[in-house]
Amino acid sequence: MGWFARAFGGGARGPRDLDSEMCSALLSVLDQDLERAEEALVRVVRSDAGGIESYLALARLYRMQGEIGRAIRVHQNLLLREDLHKGQRLKALADLGEDFRQGGFTERAIACYEGVILDDKRDLKSHRVLIQLYAQSGRYSRAIEYSRRLARLEGSGRGDEEARLYVEMAKAQYAEGHHDEARRSTKKALRRSKRCVAARVLLGDLEAERGRTKAALGAWSDVPRLDRASGPLVYAKLEAAYAALGRIRDFEAFVRGLLAQQPEDVGARRALAALLSARGEIDASVSELHRLVAVDSDDLETRAALGRILLSEGRVEDAAREYGLMIDALSRRGLLGGEEKPE
């Protein structure tokens, strides 16, 4: 208690005064006046050195202000006290872990949260934080282990989260040159969640690298079927794979099939337009892109694509018109330095 006495020593005040100071601190935090909140909390702890919650609040305030060292000292000194009950000690330990986490001391943060779970195996927040910390430090097996524990505690499946962790593991393995391990991890991800788009994209990449173009096609083809918004991640890959197999017409059929199901699919229509343009069918390509801007006149990416295609064909006036419309759209969005114009 020596450090507390030196830093916060002072005379006692009545309960009403302390409640008033705590309310003042809360209001100051809500007003984002952290300096005033700190002054109020310091008055509380000086008047009530035996209080625990006020010290916890002050330490959190220090952390909010970016004064991680001061927050750590308060929490460490609290943990030296013998009058803390279990709940208070675990709260101080978890808060110390958050101090370390925000300060970039990952191993110390992990040790604190592991300590919380050692005494309270059902602490959900500590499980969630440990999943993040272990993943950030590249220890995906531990992150997956805690994800499974959390699933059991919550009584609900966390297949999507586990699949995401396996994909991150696979990417790390791939970056280190362990391609076979990356492929195994990717397949584990798909076993945990068949709808994991990131796993299918990565599996396609891995299969293509092994020269298994048909297998890559199978993996990539599932992406837009599962999530149309993710289609643009694989359309160029699919086109290249179909071309390598001498089946470029099959790629066109694939994209047109997607559009037959969802005519409003912007990514698929842009992919079709790019294919038609590459094949020299400029008017058909422009027609597909015009269908998009007819629905959304502020579609900047499509306007830019139209401008590029028209310029490549020497249709300067038409291209200038598209770029002019693109500038109008930028202006309406307030992206040219002016205020957004009303519709």
Res. 9: pLDDT tops 60: no
Q: Which CATH number fits the domain that encloses residue 169?
A: 1.25.40
Residues 90 and 141 both lie in one domain: no
| Domain membership of residue 52 as a residue range | 1-112
Q: Tell me if 285 sits within 8 A of 266, measured CB to CB.
A: no
Higher-confidence position of 25 and 325: 325
22-39 mean pLDDT: 54
Domain-embedded: residue 340: no
User: Is residue 236 domain-resident?
Assistant: no
Last residue of a domain, one of 57, 79, 112: 112
Decide if pLDDT at 34 tops 70.
no
Residue 92 and residue 35 share a domain: yes
319: DSSP letter: H
Which whole number is the average pLDDT over 18-24?
Answer: 52
Question: How many distinct structural domains can be found in the chain?
Answer: 2
Ranges 25-29, 81-85, 266-270, 275-279: which has the least confidence: 25-29
Instruction: Give the pair of three-digit tokens for residue 142.
Output: 């531990």
Q: What is the mean pLDDT of the chain?
A: 86
Query: Which two structure tokens, joined as six digits, stand for 258?
Result: 């997607």
Choice among 38-47, 59-68, 208-217 with the minimum mean pLDDT? 38-47
Q: Which residue has the higher pLDDT, 276 or 54?
A: 276
Question: Averaged over 35-42, what is the pLDDT?
Answer: 60
Query: What is the Cα–Cα distance from 61 to 37, expressed in whole angstroms?
Result: 8
Name the pLDDT band for 46 (thresholds 50, 70, 90).
low
What does the pLDDT read at residue 117? Answer: 97
* Structure tokens that stand for 299 in this block: 């579609």
| Predicted confidence (pLDDT) per residue in 301-317, tens digit | 998 999 999 998 899 99
What's the CA gap between 183 and 140, in Å, rounded?
15
What CATH number is given to the structural domain containing 76? 1.25.40.10
> Would you state the structure tokens that stand for residue 28, as one six-digit string?
């100051």
Rounded Cα–Cα distance for residues 130 and 137 (Å): 10
C-alpha angle 275-277-283 in degrees, rounded to nearest 5 = 125
pLDDT at 252 over 90: yes
- Residue 67 predicted with pLDDT over 70: yes
Please state the three-class secondary structure of 237-303 as a single string.
Answer: HHHHHHHHCCCHHHHHHHHHHHHHHCCCCHHHHHHHHHHHHHCCCHHHHHHHHHHHHHHCCCCHHHH
